[in-house]
Each structure stands twice: as C-alpha cells, then as structure tokens.
Structure 1
Amino acid sequence: MTRYALRSALMAGIAAMAAPGLASDEASSAPSGDRDYLPSEIVVTGTADGYRLDDGSTATKTPTPLIDVPQGVNFLTADQLEDQSVRQLNEALRYVPGVSLETGEGHRDEVFIRGQETTADFYLDGLRDDAQYYRSLYNIERVEVLKGANALIFGRGAGGGAVNRVSKTARAGETFLNGQASVDTFGAFALLADLNQPLADNVALRVNGTYEEFDSHRDFYEGRFIGIAPTLTAQLGPQTRVTASYSYDDDSRVTDRGIPSFMGEPLRGYDDTFFGDPEFNRSRAKVHIARMRLDHSFAEGLSANASVQYADYDKIYANIVPSGTDGQSVTLGGYQDATERENVIGQANLVWQTGGDGIGSTLLVGVEATRQDTLNARRTVDFTTTNQVPLAERIAIPAFTLAPTSRSRDSQLETLSAYLQEQLRIGQHVEIVAGLRWDRFDLQTTDLIGGTPGDRVDEKVSPRLGLIVKPDTRLSLYASFAESFLPQAGDQFLILSPGDTAFEPEKFTNYEIGLKWSPLDDLLITAAAFRLDRTNTQAPAPDRPGVVVLAGESRVEGFEIGAAGSVTDFWQANIGYTYLDGELRTTSDFGTAGARLQQLPRHHIAAWNRFDLNDRLGFGLGVVHQSEQYASFSNTVVLPAYWRVDAAAYFTVNEAVSVQLNIENLFDETYYPSAHGNNNIQPAEPFSARIGVRFAL
C-alpha cells in the first residue's frame, strides 16, 4: 500500500470513529420505524424472494422501499441469475432494457445506459469499482441498475446511471454448502461452491469460490477464471455489526476484438474468424478487493454506518485488431497496454428517522474520501512487412514486433465529498426527496515520456429533488430532477492534457416522471419517461478555427415500462421495454450535430419468464430484442435489428440435487449485439446449450 493509500485509510478510520458504522453506499441498519411494510432492517444481504425486490436502499443510502424511490431501477435477483445460469456481469446486463453492451475491446465490461457510455460506473455494495476488467458473479446475490444522473448517491460520473452488485454475506446461525457444475456445447465449463459456517453464536464465515473455463464458436477463443471470496460477519452486540470481506479474481482469456465492417454493416461470412494472433491477443487481470464495514444503531431511528475499501488492480492486455476492410483484404493494427491501479475509499453515513403518522423524516448526512493511483503504459505493434492481409477463414498474421513504449502515464486522483439528503413524508400520500452533494475533485497527471503535467481541481455541488405522490400504499407517482458531472479527463482519469485543464467538467441533467405500482403482493410494475441532457462537451468554436470551447450538447429522451415478480403462483417474470431517442444537438468532439448517439437502439425488449408446472419441474423462456443501431457517432455502420430467444428446463431430483438445462439463441439467429467503433463488431453466439447440476447440503 502506498503512503497515499495509507493516508486515505486513516482518513476513513477517523470518519468511522466520528460516526460509527459506514456501509457500502447501501442502507444503514436503522429500524424501519413507521414503515411497517419494510423489514425491521434493510441490510446489504442481497436476499430476495423470486424475481421481485423491495429494497431500494442503494438509491437513497437509507432504508427505503423501492416503491418510494423517485428513479428508474432495474434489478436481477439471485433466483433469476441462477435460472438463467448467468455467471458474468455482461451476460446478465443483456436482460436489462435500456442498457446496451459495448464490446469493451474484448477485455472489459463497458456499457451504454440511456445512451451514455461508461467503463467506470460500476459499484460493489455501493462502493466504486472502476477499473477496466470483466466482473464475475460467483459471489454476488443480485445486480441493480440505477438509471439517470444522480451524483448525490454516486458522486462524479454515472451520467446515464450506475451498475451495482450486491455481495453475498455470511449468515449467523446457518450452516450450508451449495455447489454447481455446468458444461456447454462448446466445451466451456464452470464449478462453483458456496459454504456458510457459524464460528460462534454471533460470528459466521462464508466462502464462495469458482473455477471457470471459457470457449465459444469464435476460432481460437479460450480462457479461464479463478475466484475466491471469504466474508466474515460478527454481531458485537444487539446494536453493532461488523462485516469483513475479501475477494481475489484472476481472469485470463484471449482478447477478441470481433470483425470489421464492410459497406455499412458487419462483414458477412466471417463470424467465426479470429482477426488476431491467439498467442499475442491475451488479457490478464488480477483483482484484490478488501473491505471492512461497521453498522451501529444508537437508538430507535438513529444509526450510522462506516466502511473502508482497498482495491488493487493489475491488468495487461494485448491485441492485433482489424481496422478496416475493402472486401478483399483486411487492415490490421495492434498494441499492448498495461495498467496498475490502487483505490482506497472511506465513507461514513448517519441516518436519523423521526416522525409518526403526520410528518415523517429520514435525514441522511454523509462524507466520503477516496484516493486513486494509476500507472498506464502502452506499446504499439510494428509490422515487419505489411499490415494488410487477404481475407480468409483463417487470417495469416504477418510478422510483427513491439515498439518501445509510446505512452506512459501516472495519475493521482483525490476526492472529498459531503452530502445531505432529506426524505420528508407529509401525511400518508406525499413524500419529498431533496439533497445536495459537494465534491472536491483533485486530479494530477503526468505524461512520463513527454514530462508534461496536467493538474486541475474542481469543486461541484450536485442537487437532487424528487416528489412522490401515493394515492395508495401500493402506488407511487413521482417526478424527479438530478445532476451529475464528469471531469474532462474521461472516466478512467489516466491523463489530463494541458488543454483539458482549462475546462469545467461535463454536466449531466436528468428529468424524469414515473410510477411504481404493486397490484399483487409479489409483483412490481414500473414506468418512466425521461430526458437526459449532456452539456459542457468540448467542441470547435464555430467562428474561431482551431479554438475549442465547451459548447457540445446531446440529448436522450425516452420512456420505459417493466414488471418483475410473481404473476401467478407458477409464473415468475422480469419483463421490460425501453424506447430511446437521442442525438448530438451540436457539433462536438463526438461528432456532427444531428448524429444519432452510438449504440442506441430505438426499441429494446428484454423478458425472462419461469413457469413451474409442479414442485419438481419447471421451464424458462426469454426474449431479447434490439432495433438497429449505429456502431459509432459517424452513423455510417449499422448493427442490424435482432430477436434472440432463450429457453431453460429445471428438474428437482430431491431436496439436495437439481438439474438444469439452458439454451441460448434457440433459433440460431445471426446477429451482432455490440461493437467498439465501426470495425470491432462482436458476432453473437449461435445456438448453444448448457447443462448443469446443483446440490445443497
């Protein structure tokens, strides 16, 4: 740990002593008070029954039912993830409407949420997990996608929303051992184990582990993943709980950049062809994340929570990549890139709930301090003879060497934040959510080759305002306004050029109206209409050639509707539809005015259903549809519209053993769900089947 990381840890420790107990950006352990339809505690255990989730605490940092959150939220519970046999975050997000997948250059999670691209708006139990790598779900209870800008909860970034994973935690008083083994038609397999063991009356240990090997229809593609995640929970008294967790993820795989485009669409006839060198195109990520959290209840309605998280990321990847084709030959490029990152986060929250049947108040006061140190270096590929080769089923990669380091960057990011939020209940029918967050953002970067420094300090105040009207306890109507910002260095903050230091951060403003309705006890229906404006994007000055100004703007408008939970005793579903319309309103660094935003399908449907015929036999059926979308802001390459149908069957042998069959792309549809620009387009897997066995002891 560096001296900077140590300093941040000490800051967080001081915060924890000042307000005992900070959790992840999740809920406190405060009693629910007058909200008797909540559990007595909302704790980040991630437990959910079926496909419905009631816990909306991630969106407020307080014990709040989801029906009272003035924001669009999608979720994938543990039951749904198991029913779909999903083990990677990017696989899970395919079933979240309004979220499009970027290929992430074949080595990282990268998504578009309401048209805003991000590699960094990922969270683990509400704390930032922003490095560029693939995230496994072996130790995860549920996945939450919170939509719309909201800096009050998440800080900088999260312009279109944020993706939060909720971890499995140890359970006192329970002993169990669960395991899974599965294999698919390409030969990929996975082994998982989940052990929970009480160590004393109020102490429990839980260990999750996995070993997975990858394979697919793509030539030469393979890889493996190893993960282990122990967590310890100790109840120190009736009012105090400590949770300590650690995870180690080791991911190694072929870096697959997909196929190029030709004549405005993906190159046809080469969906299995690997446009790289299987020995050189490799990605390796080793990730350590350690966290300690303290929850304490001072009295009825008054609680605090505090946590410190340390994360270390070591990542290197290399690739030969297609950059274009004329239909006869393909042009290649390539590079090797390495990143080392160390994050320390400390956060503390105080939650005070007061009031009765008339006026009720939930007050949140919080502070957060972070430190991030990053080293990044790149070496480009030099081809010995030519970088153009004939198109073929198997591409012959010409001889190449790695040039000396062409890019080397060192960055230090420090943030300090304080926030205040009031959830005011007026009678039984009106609630107001209002708050402000102040952020101090200090970024120092150095070009280690050119010796050029880039330093900037920003201080921003981000508001949040929501009005909730509840004609009935099962129905809420809301309107909300929230802002977020992103400094000009981009979401990874690797380098701040001398020109960028002159500019204020980009700004995201989200306006939203919506409803949440629970017509049945275990079913939640949601709907929302929204407008998301992005401003302060760098753009050329129209009357001053060569001058850059903050005049770029884009806008996304749309609506979404969804339903999740138990429709009947035998039918569980998570169904959603999103309509998105977005364009660049002015010419900017992204593209010309009027261009449609990249990878923004106008229509997106995602539906997963489980039908239980009896206690032992069940079936699953899923549908994903995206209308056509542009691969980039150039609007010259189209990813065609597609429909994908998935299916599953479940059979319970006895109380301890069950068998599961999952089929992806049942009708063997050819489609292209994601891209990284115009010439790195990922073909989807054809028909494939996976069979698995689960046991519980």
Structure 2
Amino acid sequence: MSPRASLLLLATLLSGGAAQAAEDELAQVSPLIITAQVGDGYLPGRLDTALRVAADLRDTPQSIGVVSAQLIRDQAMQSMADVLRYVPGATIGQGEGHRDAPSLRGNASTADFFVDGVRDDVQYYRDLYNTERVEVLLGPNAMIFGRGGGGGVINRVTRVADGRRHVGLSLEGGDFEHRRMVGDLGAAMNETVSARVNLMHERSGSYRDFVNLERWGVNPSVTYQGASGFTATLTFERFVDDRTTDRGAPSFQGRPLAIPVNAYFGDPTQSWSRVEADSARLAFDLPLNADLTLRHRTVWGAYDKGYGNVYASGAAVADAQGRPAVYPLQAYRSFTERTNVFSQSDLVWTHGTDGARRTIVAGLEVGRQDTRNLRETGRFGGPAGSTTLTGVLVSEPTRRNLPVAYANSGSDAQNTGVADVAALFAQAQADLGPRVQLIAGLRYDVFSLDLRDERASVTGRRDFSRTDRIWSPRLGLVVRPVEPLSIYASYSVSSLPASGDQFASLSISTESLKPESFRNLEAGFKVDLTPRLMATGAVYQLDRENTQAPDPLVPGRVVQTGAQRSTGLELGLGGKVTDRWETVATMAVQSARITRQTAAAPVGRHAALTPEFTASLWNKVEVTPRLSLGLGVIHQGDMFASISNTVTLPGFTRVDGAVFLRVGEDYRLQLNVENLGDITWSPTSHGDNNIQPGAPRTVRISISRGF
C-alpha cells in the first residue's frame, strides 16, 4: 500500500461514525498496560538513556535537554533545527542543504544521532513524525553510546505499541505550499499483544525559489507482554526524503550578502538530495528474578543516500563602485550506501531500597557497518572544462541546466569500508545514604576499520586498516541536600577515531593517528520548583585534544598536538507554572577556542557556529478551556560562520506565536506564526560562503485529532 493510500485509509477511520465505531470495537478488547517513561507536558519524565536504566532527571549527573512531543506539536516543529533552538549549548549547521549538522558545546558532528539508544549515523534530515521526545545529552557520552559524542549526542525516542488506543490524524498546510499529513493508529489486540503504526507524507515548497521537498515515512510496531513481565517490541521503518539542496548565499566583505530572501544561488536543476532509509528493530526485556533483568536491542538498517549541488564556492566580488557584482560556482555529487547491524545486551541488577539502593549495569555491544562512498567533481562545459565557473552575476544568481560533466577526480573519495565494533561496559550506581549517590562506569571499545581505495588513479597501495582500543570512563556524584534539589559533579571522556565521524577516509598519513579525545568536567543542579516545574543548570570545561596539526619540523607531515577548549554555562526551565500556564526557557553562555594550533586554525580562533550567548523562551497559556495562546522568543548572538573567523553571522531575535482552539471533544485547530516581526536573519551556514537566509514570516494551520 502506498503512503498516500495508507494515510487516506487512516483519515477515513478517523472521520465521524467510522472513528466512533472503531473505538467502540477497540473498547471491547482488554487493554494491555505498559508504563511509559513520559513527562507531564513540557516537563521531562524519567529517562532510561543517560544511565542505561530508568532514572529521574535529577539523578543524572549531566546536562540534558529534553524536547517533549507536546512541545514539538505545539510549535509545529519541522526539523532538528527547530528542536535544538530549545536546547542550551546547541546550534545546528546548514549541512549543505541535505543533512542534520549539529554543534554541541562548540563541537560539530553529523554522526552523533541515535534512535532509542542505538546509533543512527547516516547523513540525512531526520523527521519528527514518529518521535515521542528528543533527548540531547550534552558532554562526552562514550561510556553509554561508544565512540564519538564528544560534545554530546542526540537521541530520538520513537512511538511504539504500548497497549493504549491511539486514533490520531493531523492535517497541516501553510505558506509556500506547505502540505503535511501525520497519522498515529494503535490498539491492544488482546491481553498480551498490541500494535501501532505511525505514518507521514509531506509535499512542500519553500520561501526559497526553486526549492521543494517530498518525504514520507511509515513505522509499524508490535509489542508483546507476557505474564512474567517479559516484553518484546518489533518495529520497522521506511523513510524517504527527496528534496532540492539549498546552500544559501555567499558572503560579502565578512558579512552575509544582502539579497532577496528568495534568491537561489547556483543551479537548482542539478542540486538534489534523496535518501531511502529502512530499519528493523527488536527490543526485549526479560526479568530473570526480582533483582535481575536482561535487556536486548538488535537493529538492522540499510541506507541509500545521494546528493548533488552546484553552489557558491567563494565570496561575492565587488565592482568598481564597491558593490557586490559576481561570485563563483563549483559542483559535485556524492553517493553513500551503508548497512548497519548493531546488537546490545545488558544485565541490570538492582537491590535495596531508597537510601541503600545499588544498581549495576553490565553490557556487551557488537556491530558492523558496511559503507560504499563515491564522490564526483563537476567540470563546467564538459570533461575538459574548469571546476570553477567564475563571473556569475549576483543580480542574476540562478543558473539553470548548466552543462556540467561529473567524474571522480584524483582527490575525490571512492572507497568501500567495513567498520567493526565490539564493546564491554559496566556501570554502578550506589546510594551512599539517603542524600548521596555515586555513579561510576567504564567502557572498553575495539573499533576496527578496513578501507579499500577504489579510485582508478591510484597506482600504489589501496588497502588500509586501523584498530583502536578505547577506554571511556565516567564518574559522577549526585547530592540531594534538600528533597527538591540535587547537585552534581561529573567527569567523562569520549574518543573519536582519526577516520572521522563518518569513517570515510583512511590513508598513509592518517592510518597511524590516534583517536581524538574529549575530556569533560561538569557541575550543576536540578531542582523541582514545584512538582510540575523543573529548573536545571550546569557549568563545564570540555577539552578536545589529539587534534591533527601540521608538523612544524617536517613539511607535509601531520602530528597530533592540536587542542580546543569549550567552557560554558547552561540553564533550563520547563513544565507548568500554573494549571493554565506552561513554559520552556533556556539560556547558554559559552566559548569554544583553539588552545593549540590545529590543521585548521591557529591558537585563539573561535569554533564555528558557537555564539557566546543564546536564549529561548516559550509560553503557552490556557485562556479558556477551549482557547490557548502561545508566544515564543529565540535569541542567538553573533557567531563566526567557520573556523577562519573571517565571516560573522549577525545575531538575531525572532518572535513566534500560536493560537490553539479545541473544537468539540476530539479536534484541535492550531495556528502557528514563525517570525512574527518578519525580521531579516541568517541562522546558520556551511562555511563562509553557504549562508542560509532565515525564513520570512511564515504561517501554518493544522487540524488534528488524537494528538
């Protein structure tokens, strides 16, 4: 069945008498009850990600930003970029118009994504249609998640069959031909089995000329719960995203080029991105006795990703009068095929009562990732043409159907690689009395990469391999001097192999390099101001070392003497102020600078896309039982577009609003307006000359049932 047909069927079930009949029939089935780890509206609930076991947020010794399903729905969030604006210490790069590219505490990555605690590292734009919440765990997290994660990790918790009845549909439309449909249908089939399916289809335009997207997803799940407490969930997801890549506009004299917000720079007919992602997941929990539980997760994923772009490759050049006149173009396309298989098994032992509780988690993780990469450089005018097209007029920035010949050049990637990981870890949580808890853990990873260079131009060595043996400790202390308040201190370490977060390259010069290390010292607090309102805060120092740098004695040789230090303060507030007033607020003050010369920058340079100050505030107030209003403010200070520190993205303050109206007992009308003030803003970039113009005032309207 096609995604459109599936959604049409769901809409039929939701309409009028059909929906009522379906509910009456479902009501006759004995419900299967599974306790979900969810929060209250905007307030985070218990999490089982940060410590690998279910725990209150107050008992986790690190800064964690949680964006709930309700906040995602109330703001009509469309992307990870929307999510991260409400996480302190987080920004997001442009990602060349085809991938999520977050920067956490001044450390950029395209691979530190997880779904239900398992790695999801292919480069693409993730959708939120099946997301229960997004957890952003800041600081090194290798003890739980393995390699990488130096600045933090982003974990999506998905909706699965939970024994409850779900009959939901959302229809959304708005400016720039925005059209989107999301469905959620689930029920208990009998006393032990429940099923659920989440569906999405979107076809939308953009405030940018020639840019459009079509994406769809389907995510069915089945859960079994036996009388002995055994639970198992099987899920499958098919997700397809097809869009025009948009790399924004070049800079001019160190600032974003002043252009009409809709102006497209490049050739949209050859700027495209398509990803097909299939995944299957099996998760089960098996209680062995009153104190001991076996948890297992197995994930298979197959990803086919390709993209091409003809884009601005340099700054705009001034004419004799000092006005921006022309800019250059370059072109390339890239293809990645990857198959992931991961298996995680944990033994969780818990004993004792509050004040004398002991929890020990010991686990094993194995995985394999098979990857094929191909990149081709474009030459304008034919195979013998130039790789750069100069003299493109700023006044006529769009070129269509340019003659471009693509071929693998001597420096383009063309390789196959196999990455194997095997890891053991153990973590202990011990109450040292009623007010003190100690958390200590250690992980040992063996990460092996075998890569074959398949470029036709290579005449020498083609096969490269490296094995890294990585120790990742974590130590935390949580103190509760009074019941609503917890204070913590922690130390953690992560490592990133020299092959990079996408492990796409290995050569003679990098084969011998050790992993980069990330060491984090952090202290903070979490306090329940009321039972439904939590405030959090953290200060940290994060040191990144073993970064590649040029050898001062041997030209052309790489040494690992580079370093970067990030420091900062992160504050958060979330939950209900009163029964009718919900709020989320965040603030971050941060600095990330090069402390020892790297291959990219000298001492003193600021990390890219790391503003010194960011803040966000969202309030939703219930005016009457049927009418609610929302108002939000997002502020981002000045930041550098790249590590060159030659182009500055000006700070901005954006105001958003929303109106919510309940119609009858089951339906909700929602109006969202982003950028109420219609400001001109540049939220992000990819380097100095792919600067993304922010959207003008944008209106979206939706009608939903069951969400």
Which band: TM-score by shorter chain? over 0.9
How many Å apart are 1:298 and its aligned residue? Answer: 1.8
Structure 1 residues 628 and 42, CA gap change in structure 2 (3 angstroms): farther
Q: Which residue is equivalent to 2:165? A: 175
2:72 aligns to what SS in structure 1? Answer: helix
Structure 1 residues 390 and 690, CA gap change in structure 2 (3 angstroms): same
CA contact (8 A) 1:239 1:298 kept: no
For residues 628-672 of structure 1, the C-alpha deviation after alignment (integer angstroms, 9 at most, x for no partner) is: 000001000000010011110100011111100000001011111
How many Å apart are 1:545 and its aligned residue? Answer: 3.3
Alpha-carbon separation, structure 2, partners of 1:195 and 1:85: 20
Alpha-carbon separation, structure 1, partners of 2:120 and 2:133: 16
| Aligned with 1:83 (options 69, 74, 99) | 74
Between 1:448-457 and 1:255-264, the stretch displaced more is 448-457
Q: Which residue is equivalent to 2:365? A: 368
Alpha-carbon separation, structure 1, partners of 2:618 and 2:132: 18
How many Å apart are 1:176 and its aligned residue? Answer: 3.0
Q: In the alignment, is residue 434 of structure 1 matched against residue 440 of structure 2?
A: yes
CA contact (8 A) 2:269 2:400 kept: no
How many Å apart are 1:259 and its aligned residue? Answer: 0.4
Alpha-carbon separation, structure 2, partners of 1:271 and 1:555: 36
Structure 1 residues 586 and 47, CA gap change in structure 2 (3 angstroms): same
How many Å apart are 1:573 and its aligned residue? Answer: 0.9
Q: How many percent of aligned residue pairs carry the same amino acid?
A: 39
For residues 326-349 of structure 1, the C-alpha deviation after alignment (integer angstroms, 9 at most, x for no partner) is: 021110001111100000000001
For residues 532-572 of structure 1, the C-alpha deviation after alignment (integer angstroms, 9 at most, x for no partner) is: 00000011223443332110000000111111111111111
Alpha-carbon separation, structure 1, partners of 2:206 and 2:398: 18
| Aligned with 2:305 (options 315, 338, 345) | 315
How many Å apart are 1:502 and its aligned residue? Answer: 1.0
Q: Which residue is equivalent to 1:387? A: 389
Q: Which residue is equivalent to 2:261? A: 271
Q: Which residue is equivalent to 1:511? A: 521
**Structure 2 counterpart of 1:260, one-letter code:** P
5 Å-filtered alignment, 1:555-574, equals 555-574=565-584
| Aligned with 2:462 (options 452, 462, 470) | 452
Alpha-carbon separation, structure 2, partners of 1:270 and 1:321: 17
**Structure 1 counterpart of 2:97, one-letter code:** G
Alpha-carbon separation, structure 2, partners of 1:315 and 1:537: 29
Count how many residue pairs are aligned between Structure 1 and Structure 2: 655
2:266 aligns to what SS in structure 1? Answer: coil
Between 1:68-77 and 1:392-401, the stretch displaced more is 392-401
Q: Which residue is equivalent to 2:5? A: none
How many Å apart are 1:425 and its aligned residue? Answer: 0.4
Q: Which residue is equivalent to 1:343? A: 340
Alpha-carbon separation, structure 2, partners of 1:226 and 1:398: 28
Q: Which residue is equivalent to 2:532? A: 522
For residues 53-111 of structure 1, the C-alpha deviation after alignment (integer angstroms, 9 at most, x for no partner) is: 12132100012111000000001111111101113223222222211110010001111
2:607 aligns to what SS in structure 1? Answer: coil
CA contact (8 A) 1:42 1:55 kept: no
| Aligned with 2:85 (options 94, 102, 105) | 94
Between 1:65-74 and 1:322-331, the stretch displaced more is 322-331
| Aligned with 1:425 (options 421, 431, 434) | 431
CA contact (8 A) 2:492 2:519 kept: yes
Alpha-carbon separation, structure 1, partners of 2:229 and 2:468: 39
Q: In the alignment, is residue 396 of structure 1 matched against residue 402 of structure 2?
A: no
Alpha-carbon separation, structure 1, partners of 2:354 and 2:246: 59
How many Å apart are 1:192 and its aligned residue? Answer: 0.9
Q: Which residue is equivalent to 1:620? A: 630
CA contact (8 A) 2:267 2:402 kept: no
Q: Which residue is equivalent to 1:144? A: 135
**Structure 1 counterpart of 2:389, one-letter code:** N
Alpha-carbon separation, structure 2, partners of 1:688 and 1:357: 50
How many Å apart are 1:592 and its aligned residue? Answer: 1.0
Alpha-carbon separation, structure 2, partners of 1:684 and 1:404: 34
How many Å apart are 1:46 and its aligned residue? Answer: 5.3
**Structure 2 counterpart of 1:524, one-letter code:** M
For residues 562-598 of structure 1, the C-alpha deviation after alignment (integer angstroms, 9 at most, x for no partner) is: 1111111111111010000110011111211110111
Alpha-carbon separation, structure 2, partners of 1:520 and 1:191: 37
Alpha-carbon separation, structure 2, partners of 1:563 and 1:142: 17
Q: Which residue is equivalent to 1:233? A: 223
Alpha-carbon separation, structure 2, partners of 1:631 and 1:470: 42
How many Å apart are 1:320 and its aligned residue? Answer: 0.2
**Structure 2 counterpart of 1:336, one-letter code:** R
Q: In the alignment, is residue 547 of structure 1 matched against residue 553 of structure 2?
A: no
Q: Which residue is equivalent to 1:11? A: none
Alpha-carbon separation, structure 2, partners of 1:495 and 1:691: 45
CA contact (8 A) 1:379 1:402 kept: no
For residues 279-304 of structure 1, the C-alpha deviation after alignment (integer angstroms, 9 at most, x for no partner) is: 21111100001101111112223211
How many Å apart are 1:47 and its aligned residue? Answer: 3.0
Alpha-carbon separation, structure 1, partners of 2:79 and 2:479: 38
Alpha-carbon separation, structure 2, partners of 1:321 and 1:624: 29
CA contact (8 A) 1:265 1:639 kept: yes
Alpha-carbon separation, structure 1, partners of 2:645 and 2:142: 31
| Aligned with 1:332 (options 329, 333, 338) | 329
In structure 2, stretches of 5+ residues that fail to align are 1-32, 318-323
| Aligned with 1:586 (options 592, 596, 613) | 596
Structure 1 residues 206 and 398, CA gap change in structure 2 (3 angstroms): closer
Q: In the alignment, is residue 223 of structure 1 matched against residue 217 of structure 2?
A: no
Alpha-carbon separation, structure 2, partners of 1:625 and 1:563: 16
How many Å apart are 1:397 and its aligned residue? Answer: 4.8
How many Å apart are 1:217 and its aligned residue? Answer: 1.2
CA contact (8 A) 1:446 1:495 kept: no
Alpha-carbon separation, structure 2, partners of 1:471 and 1:199: 47
CA contact (8 A) 2:592 2:606 kept: yes
Structure 1 residues 357 and 600, CA gap change in structure 2 (3 angstroms): closer
Between 1:678-687 and 1:585-594, the stretch displaced more is 585-594
How many Å apart are 1:113 and its aligned residue? Answer: 0.3
For residues 384-404 of structure 1, the C-alpha deviation after alignment (integer angstroms, 9 at most, x for no partner) is: 177121222452357322232
Alpha-carbon separation, structure 1, partners of 2:185 and 2:283: 21
1:58 aligns to what SS in structure 2? Answer: coil
Structure 1 residues 281 and 472, CA gap change in structure 2 (3 angstroms): same
Structure 1 residues 148 and 42, CA gap change in structure 2 (3 angstroms): farther
Structure 1 residues 687 and 46, CA gap change in structure 2 (3 angstroms): farther
How many Å apart are 1:685 and its aligned residue? Answer: 0.2
Q: Which residue is equivalent to 1:30? A: none
2:578 aligns to what SS in structure 1? Answer: coil
**Structure 2 counterpart of 1:657, one-letter code:** Y
1:472 aligns to what SS in structure 2? Answer: coil
1:158 aligns to what SS in structure 2? Answer: coil
Q: Which residue is equivalent to 1:283? A: 273
For residues 377-432 of structure 1, the C-alpha deviation after alignment (integer angstroms, 9 at most, x for no partner) is: 01111111771212224523573222322331111100000000000101111110
| Aligned with 1:352 (options 349, 352, 360) | 349
| Aligned with 2:195 (options 178, 188, 205) | 205
Q: Which residue is equivalent to 2:702? A: 692
| Aligned with 1:496 (options 498, 506, 509) | 506
Between 1:242-251 and 1:377-386, the stretch displaced more is 377-386
For residues 472-495 of structure 1, the C-alpha deviation after alignment (integer angstroms, 9 at most, x for no partner) is: 222110000000000011100011
**Structure 2 counterpart of 1:100, one-letter code:** T
CA contact (8 A) 1:110 1:117 kept: yes
Alpha-carbon separation, structure 2, partners of 1:176 and 1:353: 33
Moved over 4 A (4+): none
2:369 aligns to what SS in structure 1? Answer: strand
CA contact (8 A) 2:261 2:695 kept: no
Q: Which residue is equivalent to 1:16? A: none
Q: Which residue is equivalent to 1:10? A: none
Q: In the alignment, is residue 135 of structure 1 matched against residue 133 of structure 2?
A: no
How many Å apart are 1:273 and its aligned residue? Answer: 1.2
Q: Which residue is equivalent to 1:37? A: none
Q: Which residue is equivalent to 1:73? A: 64
Between 1:446-455 and 1:486-495, the stretch displaced more is 446-455
Alpha-carbon separation, structure 2, partners of 1:289 and 1:372: 13
| Aligned with 1:654 (options 660, 664, 668) | 664
CA contact (8 A) 1:258 1:682 kept: yes
Alpha-carbon separation, structure 2, partners of 1:375 and 1:342: 9
TM-score, normalised to structure 1's length?
Answer: 0.92
